[in-house]
Amino acid sequence: MKKVLSVGLLLLLAGGLLFAGGKAEPEKEELTFAYMSGILDPFMQMIEKGAQAKCDELGVKLMTAEYPKKWGAEIQVPILEAMTARGGFDFLLVVPTAQTALIAPLKKIHDKGIPMITCDTYLGDGDYSKPSEYSFPLAYIGSDNEQGGYEVGKKLCEMIGKQGKVYLNTTNPDVSSVAGRKAGFERALKEYPNVTLVGFDYNLDNQETAQKQTAAVLQAHPDLKGVFGTNLFSAQGAYRAVVAAGLTGAVKVASWDAGMDQIQALERGEIDFTLAQKPYEIGYLAVEWGYKYLTEGVEVPKVIRPGFFIITKENLNTPEAQASIYKVD
């Protein structure tokens, strides 16, 4: 905080001096935000879009790090380190790809004087309000994944007539977003004693793996009634496996995220519903709060949840559903 205020003071003084000289205009604060995504996908691109919109409004710069082609600390950390070595940014928006493996690399950046907000995922248990080795980010801005997973679970159980076998396909362990979705889904299932979770797989955020894993489960359980793919790649793999097995309609597909591929599958009836997050708002809010912190020293709320919207074939044409689709150019 002290550092932020003193940087602010220096900038003000510099501006004042220039102005006092009588020749130049008062210098505007030249702030730069950096964005480090989790993986190349439309969700992460929408965060950038929202962040860029707010940066444009505020007249600050956005520097976007290379998008990792695969999910994981081993790919994300070197990109982060290279960007930090180059420097030139005042604030970091970051999607940590692991709850534990990203603590030390991000702490190093924080200790260099770069404040940050974690977007979409958090470090540790996400409680940045109590002192801990991972409580240095100013805030977590992202979905209430547990609540979303719970709502998806309930909807899927109702859709299959409150009985039968279901399967969950997810990405990686130690990732707060998908872990929350799984936990919420499992909590919902507890309310349906006649629904059984036959198991779950980690696809490491790879669509082809998700498809193969789902295909194997469909073979092992020909009476399977429902599948939940916990993110874009999981859901895209899961629905393709159901289609390839000729089970469209017989096996209900619950999906998460709202990329164009998923929306088209929903229109074709290959996905039964999908939970759209609000990535644009995540990016927008992260810049808004980061800017207020840097320029006014305001305290940022530790958790900000922009919400989500469940899209079905029935509500697809409503303005709210249309606004929830991840539209990247």
Q: Which residues bind ligand T6T (CB under 6 A)?
A: 38-39, 41, 43-44, 120-121, 177, 231-233, 256-257, 277
Identify which of residues 20 and 40 has a Cβ nearer to ligand T6T in the complex. 40
Identify which of residues 84 and 143 has a Cβ nearer to ligand T6T in the complex. 143
At closest approach, how far in Å is the CB of 283 from ligand T6T?
Answer: 12
Identify which of residues 224 and 265 has a Cβ nearer to ligand T6T in the complex. 265
Query: Which amino acid, one-letter code, is at 220?
Result: A
At closest approach, how far in Å is the CB of 5 from ligand T6T?
Answer: 33
At closest approach, how far in Å is the CB of 259 from ligand T6T?
Answer: 8
At closest approach, how far in Å is the CB of 145 from ligand T6T?
Answer: 8
Identify which of residues 128 and 233 has a Cβ nearer to ligand T6T in the complex. 233
Identify which of residues 257 and 288 has a Cβ nearer to ligand T6T in the complex. 257
At closest approach, how far in Å is the CB of 279 from ligand T6T?
Answer: 8
Structure tokens at 196: 């059984």
